[in-house]
């Protein structure tokens, strides 16, 4: 059996950020990775995807963006390269092509069983990703035969789909970006819209994420917000990274010709049924955007920034009236359904009693009830930005301090 002080599971940016912080404290560790470094960026992203965070936000412990386009947005392959370079630069002790099959508590730590070997470690950090597997509704089982279904993890480009219309289910970042791309490829695209987070790309002349960063919104802490479970369930922001910094929201999609419908509520006898809540969920998203802009304006007034454009409010989301409530999937108008309905972690390899009744790991800012077992990279783990690349540095530093105290005490 191999021995180390800490096993980190996963060599995405979170595992590598953790590795860098552990190395800084001279904590012996390995990073076990089932594929190559940045596996998810290499294997699970569609061709045209760009980060929705600007380049200057690609900050990791000991690393800041050095290119000549701080306001641009990296492609998925550039992101994979950046993470790979970071692993090299930090000399992270990554063991690639090593899948962790199980982790279970044993005397003085954990037994980590991989498909290659066994490790004993006093502490384990799961950095295996919050977006490991698609959340697909049970409705997938009643989709009429002959319709192709896939998730954004499997989607690559419009050319890979059968000819014909595509129903995109879900209007968060992935859903709106894929719906736009498919529409531009000449296909009819209905977009089923549930709860969503509306964002303009720029506000008062600056990237909206610049504002959220500067005003401290992204730094809001998990133990200081009123409804943490809800905040952890929030879908991704409706944003896209393009050279012209365009806003992609329901209004712009509608103007292009994408057909907005409500949340997909059922499929009965081959007919898709949409909820009548489209106007309500859109008003709610407009309201929340207004509140965010209020926060930003209040902060800007206090910060007395020079040369800013004046405050602005965006037109309410226009929804079709009456909204379409059904779509007959038997007519073959729709040949493909894309489930852009979210992603979830896969922690099934954790053989430790820390799961709640819904199968979610219970944790306090990444610290589980099993001493020496930590999580990083989960939604709102310690801050609003915990799942963003920019969120890893602060979370990894705090978890490392906790882990160090655990090692000292045991
Ligand atoms: C479509 C999409 C777009 C995104 N865009 C942005 C963006 O613009 N800006 C931003 O900041 N963030 C973005 N994110 C969020 C986030 O930065 C990424 O999801 C990021 O990949 C998460 O990093 P991570 O290190 O937590 O997990 P991952 O990158 O998923 O890394 C986890 C690693 O663990 C490995 N692993 C999993 N299970 C095991 C196991 N049992 N044994 C060994 N290895 C294992 C995986 O192979 C993987 O390499 C996006 C996410 C998605 C899904």
Reported as a single tens digit per residue, the pLDDT across 91-122 is 999 999 999 999 999 999 999 999 999 999 99
Task: Work out the average pLDDT over 18-43.
Answer: 98
Cα(314) to centroid of ligand 1, in Å? 32
Query: Does 306 have pLDDT greater than 90?
Result: no
Query: Does 76 have pLDDT greater than 90?
Result: yes
Cα(378) to centroid of ligand 1, in Å? 10
At 355, the pLDDT band (50, 70, 90 cuts) reads very high
**Pairing between β-strand 326-328 and β-strand 271-274 as defined by DSSP bridges:** antiparallel
Query: Does 322 have pLDDT greater than 90?
Result: no
- Is any atom of ligand 1 closer than 6 Å to the C-beta of 53? yes
From the list 17, 13, 19, the residue with the least C-alpha distance to 4 is: 19
- Is any atom of ligand 1 closer than 6 Å to the C-beta of 9? yes
d(CA 79, CA 69): 14
Query: Does 131 have pLDDT greater than 90?
Result: yes
Task: Work out the average pLDDT over 134-162.
Answer: 97
Cα(248) to centroid of ligand 1, in Å? 23
Query: Does 323 have pLDDT greater than 90?
Result: no
- Is any atom of ligand 1 closer than 6 Å to the C-beta of 329? no
Cα(40) to centroid of ligand 1, in Å? 5
Task: Work out the average pLDDT over 56-84.
Answer: 96
Residue with the smallest CA separation from ligand 1 atom 30 is 129
From the list 222, 172, 232, 223, the residue with the least C-alpha distance to 356 is: 232
- Is any atom of ligand 1 closer than 6 Å to the C-beta of 393? no
Q: What is the pLDDT of residues 168-227, one digit of tens each?
A: 999 999 999 999 999 999 999 999 999 999 999 999 999 999 999 999 999 999 999 999
- List, in sequence order, every residue forming a beta bridge with 227; answer none if it has no partner: none
Cα(10) to centroid of ligand 1, in Å? 9
Residues belonging to the chain: 410
At 47, the pLDDT band (50, 70, 90 cuts) reads very high
- Is any atom of ligand 1 closer than 6 Å to the C-beta of 341? no
Within 8 A by CB and 6+ apart from 294, the residues are: none
- Is any atom of ligand 1 closer than 6 Å to the C-beta of 176? no
Least confident range of 147-151, 321-325, 395-399: 321-325
b/e for 126-145, b at 16 or more Cβ within 10 A?
bbbbbbbebebbebeeebbe
At 335, the pLDDT band (50, 70, 90 cuts) reads very high
- Is any atom of ligand 1 closer than 6 Å to the C-beta of 12? yes
From the list 357, 352, 398, the residue with the least C-alpha distance to 373 is: 352
- Is any atom of ligand 1 closer than 6 Å to the C-beta of 236? no
d(CA 129, CA 58): 17
Task: Work out the average pLDDT over 135-147.
Answer: 96
Report the percent of the chain where pLDDT is more than 90.
98
Query: Does 321 have pLDDT greater than 90?
Result: no
Query: Does 21 have pLDDT greater than 90?
Result: yes
Report the percent of the chain where pLDDT is more than 70.
100
pLDDT at 285: 98
At 371, the pLDDT band (50, 70, 90 cuts) reads very high
Task: Work out the average pLDDT over 259-283.
Answer: 97
């Amino acid at each position: 059996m191999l021995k180390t002080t800490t096993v980190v599971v996963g060599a995405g940016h979170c595992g590598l950020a953790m590795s860098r912080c552990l190395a800084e404290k001279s904590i012996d560790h390995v990073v076990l990775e089932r594929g190559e470094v940045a596996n998810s960026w290499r294997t699970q992203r569609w061709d045209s995807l760009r980060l929705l965070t600007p380049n200057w936000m690609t900050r990791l412990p000991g690393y800041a963006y050095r290119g000549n386009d701080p306001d641009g947005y990296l492609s998925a392959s550039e992101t994979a390269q950046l993470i790979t370079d970071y692993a090299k630069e930090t000399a992270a002790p990554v063991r690639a092509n090593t899948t962790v099959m199980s982790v279970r508590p044993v005397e003085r730590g954990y037994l980590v069983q991989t498909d290659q070997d066994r490790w004993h470690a006093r502490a384990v950090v799961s950095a295996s990703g919050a977006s490991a597997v698609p959340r697909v509704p049970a409705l997938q089982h009643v989709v009429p035969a002959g319709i192709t279904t896939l998730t954004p993890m499997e989607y690559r480009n419009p050319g890979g789909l059968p000819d014909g219309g595509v129903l995109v289910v879900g209007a968060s970042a992935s859903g709106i970006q894929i719906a736009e791309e498919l529409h531009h490829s000449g296909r009819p695209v209905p977009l089923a819209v549930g709860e969503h987070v509306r964002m303009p790309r720029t506000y008062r002349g600056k990237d909206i994420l610049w504002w959220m960063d500067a005003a401290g919104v992204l730094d809001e802490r998990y133990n200081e917000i009123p409804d943490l479970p809800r905040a952890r369930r929030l879908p991704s922001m409706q944003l896209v990274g393009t050279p012209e910094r365009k806003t992609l929201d329901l209004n712009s999609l509608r103007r292009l010709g994408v057909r907005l419908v409500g949340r997909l509520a059922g499929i009965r006898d081959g007919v898709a049924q949409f909820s009548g809540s489209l106007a309500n969920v859109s008003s709610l998203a407009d309201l929340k955007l207004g509140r965010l802009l209020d926060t930003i304006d209040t902060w800007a007034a206090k910060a007395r920034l020079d040369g800013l454009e004046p405050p602005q409010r965006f037109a309410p989301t226009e929804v079709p009236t009456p909204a379409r409530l059904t779509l007959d999937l038997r007519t073959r108008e729709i040949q493909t359904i894309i489930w852009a309905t979210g992603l979830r972690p896969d922690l099934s390899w954790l053989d430790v009693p820390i799961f709640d009744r819904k199968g979610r790991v219970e944790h306090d800012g990444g610290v589980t009830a099993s001493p020496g077992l930590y999580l990083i990279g989960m939604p709102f783990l310690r801050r609003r930005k915990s799942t963003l690349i920019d969120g890893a540095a602060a979370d990894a530093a705090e978890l490392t301090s906790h882990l160090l105290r655990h090692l000292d005490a045991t």
